[in-house]
Chains A and B, each alone.
Chain A
Amino acid sequence: MDILNALVAITNYILIPATAYGSQLALGALGVTLIYGILRFSNFAHGDTMAFGTAITIMVTWGLQAMGVSFGPLPTALLALPVGIAATAVLVLATDKLVYSYYRRVRAAPVVIVMVSVGVMFMMNALTRFLIGVDDINFADGARFVITAREFRDMTGLAEPLPIRSSQIITIVMAALIVAALFWFLNRTRTGKSMRAFSDNEDLALLSGINPSRVVAVTWIIAAALATTAGVLYGLDKSFKAFNYFHLLLPIFASAILGGLGNPLGAIAGGFVIAFSEIGVTYAWKKVAGYLLPAFEPDGLLQLLSTEYKFAVSFVILIAVLLFKPTGLFKGKSV
């Protein structure tokens, strides 16, 4: 029984939250890595693209709720998601046309385009705040729990609860579906293959008749879809606050770089490594130890690092990986 309690505690406080957070990071990192692989620059505006897409989705959700539309036990925001993606795709395509296409034409150095993306970031930042404000917004509706803490306790008789939130399940399932669809698209379809070719060798791809503007447009649309979905899933799981999405940029970039920039598989792995290390290393093992070794009564919390240092954990891993494997865990482009 005690072993079960220990397992349940680990699942409740480490496995489930880290998997959900990891999925959100992975989706964000996928967008960053795709842009890097194909357009060859680190898009600092990605966090705010997520915020913009989520803001539009929230507004459509409000509209749907006002009309009395609901999605049963699932959050209404999932119905509004396609509209959010479409609006975000229009925004990023317009940005590309107005801003990035010029720098591509003059063949600006990547670092110049990165700085341009910082400018775009501030614009999008402001745009999102104009649209929806700076407040904390909770837009999750539908059933909040698949199983609540009390239900689990009553059902199993264990001391430790294992509640499962619907937003966590939705996040994990959606992330798995989207990743599968993305890999199918990149590996099996003609457009996906041309994108990979463009990423591997631009000149060769152009010579073999691939239309660059089409590749660029498709990349932006996919990035918009990934950003909006990641943003909405994150917002459903936590809450929407424009400022938090700006902060999310840091762990997302850490994930993408850790996995190997430009490598989609690496982005996913990076997301999970960051999430698990942030939560696992700072976990206080006192409770679990109490179940497994009842005779052993520690005074301390058996915590490796205080939670203030959780960001340091992911950056230490990042530095170590870049020192010994500059292209990231999976073979990406070197930074």
Chain B
Amino acid sequence: MKKLLLATATVALSAGGAFAEDVKIGISLGFTGPLESMSPAMAAGAELAMKEVSDSGKFMGGATVTPVRGDSTCADAAAATATVERLVTTEGVKGIVGGMCSGETTASLQNVAMPNGMVMISPSATSPALSSLEDNGLFFRTAPSDARQSEVMTEIIMEHGIKEVAVTYTNNDYGKGLADSFQAAFEAAGGKVTINAAHDDGKSDYAAEVGALASAGGEALVVAGYVDQGGSAITRGAIDSGAFSTFVFPDGMVGDKLQENFGAEVNGSFGQIPSAEGEGKDKFMALAEAAGFNGSDVYAGEAYDAAALILLSMAAAGTTDPGVYKDKVMDIANAPGEPILAGELGKALELIAAGTDIDYIGASSVELIGAGESAGTFREIEIKDGVIETVKYR
């Protein structure tokens, strides 16, 4: 208790003594819970951007940026809401990087951020439902929606001249969300989904599922599952029974394990994963290594970009008021303007001060579309001679 009092007193003192322009940015991620292994690198990514901006000395006339971490738990919407409430009301943050998972993000956005007019930029919530959510222009995400993946997947399948597919998905929010949005996209493009059936992971036998898929038929089988779970078992069954010979693999299936499990047996199959490439990514990797974390960790680059977008928008608006700078986010993120890569935040601030437009590219090739979500760069892959090969980026 004594320690707590001491700490509180210290915080209060330091807060009182700081510049009026000391800007606090909240980081609401699932530091405990099902995705706790991913959070540290993501938080490090966001803090890296804040440190870069502070160190440049060019932000709001030399203001510093202080990160404040909060645990959103990923799974518990009530806990996430309380965390964001604390960040907004007690800590007085001016923007939030988060939440992490789609459910808690929706809850904290609707219960706290919207009533308080707080900007939230999520680096990792991918549910298609977030696209159509009423958000008063306060919510953005640097991760692509699964609806976007569905469109990309539809394009790739259509380009292969395939019009009829069967879909199997892992029975959870990810699998069902992806399968349903894919079915909608594919049918809108004139394709036909013969069956859209769930499979449960970790079951003893998948003959029934394979039988149903085979009976429904189709030119290819879309496996919206996990490569180390039922997804592989279904693929194995479909190959062995001669039901399908061409497969489409979304992000959960693409990995070294796919190559190892099937190799040349799935030659000619294809798929896609969200993946940025290019100079921005390379620069971010180098920065992350210097800062002591792995920049290739999932969504670390997206977290860096979320924090950078908030800060650059503040600079462009000339104020830290979320109600004002929210309108600048889309301008900063998209063309036209001078392209800004990861590690060039200082340069970006100079350009903004000089009145030049910027086009933030960052670590994950940010381009915000629709209601403010990443268009997402996807890597199209194809299996040739038993090896996963990159066809191109979309």
Contact = CB atoms under 8 A, between A and B. Distances in A.
A18 B216 contact: no
B240 A21 contact: no
Contacts of A135: 228
Q: What 8 A-B pairs have minimum CB-CB distances, sorted nearest first?
A: A149-B242, A17-B207, A161-B242, A13-B211, A284-B215, A287-B215, A284-B212, A282-B208
Interface of A: 9, 12-14, 17-18, 21, 135-136, 138, 144-145, 148-150, 152-153, 161, 163, 165, 234, 238-239, 241, 243-244, 247-248, 251, 275, 278-279, 282-288, 301, 303, 306-308, 310
Nearest to A167: B240
The listed residue with most A CB atoms (<10 A of its CB), out of B202, B214, B228, B236, is B214
A307 B212 contact: yes
Which of B198, B204, B208 has most chain A Cβ within 10 Å?
A: B208
Interface string B199-242: 11011110111111011110000000000100011001000111
Contacts of B111: none
B261 interface: yes
Given A148-B242, A284-B215, A286-B217, 11 more contacts: A9-B215, A13-B210, A136-B257, A238-B205, A243-B202, A248-B204, A275-B205, A284-B216, A307-B199, A308-B197, A308-B200
Given A284-B195, A307-B199, A21 B210 contact: no
B334 interface: no
B267 interface: no
A286 B207 contact: no
A21 B200 contact: no
B242 A244 contact: no
A288 B236 CA distance: 23
Nearest to A246: B202
A256 to B, nearest CB: 15
B171 interface: yes
Interface of B: 171, 195, 197-200, 202-205, 207-212, 214-217, 228, 232-233, 236, 240-243, 257, 261
B322 to A, nearest CB: 44
B208 A279 contact: yes
Contacts of B208: 278-279, 282-283, 307, 310
A307 B209 contact: yes
B242 A14 contact: no
B234 to A, nearest CB: 10
Contact of A278 (B205, B210, B217, B233): B205
19 contacts: A13-B215, A21-B207, A136-B228, A145-B240, A149-B242, A152-B242, A163-B240, A239-B236, A244-B203, A248-B204, A278-B205, A278-B208, A279-B207, A284-B212, A284-B215, A284-B216, A301-B215, A307-B198, A307-B199
B212 A238 contact: no
B168 to A, nearest CB: 9
Nearest to A275: B205
A282 B232 CA distance: 21
A288 B198 contact: no
A279 B199 CA distance: 14
Contacts of A238: 204-205, 233, 236
Contacts of B233: 238-239
Given A138-B261, A149-B241, A244 B204 contact: yes
A136 B209 contact: no
B208 to A, nearest CB: 5
A144 B263 CA distance: 15
B200 A13 contact: no
Given A13-B215, A17-B211, A163-B240, A308 B198 contact: yes
Nearest to A245: B204
B242 A163 contact: yes
A150 B265 CA distance: 13
Contact of B240 (A165, A288, A306): A165
Nearest to B228: A136
B217 A251 contact: no
A30 to B, nearest CB: 17
Contacts of B232: 136
Given A165-B240, A301-B216, A306 B203 contact: no
A152 B385 CA distance: 24
B139 to A, nearest CB: 34
Contacts of A13: 207, 210-211, 214-215, 241, 243
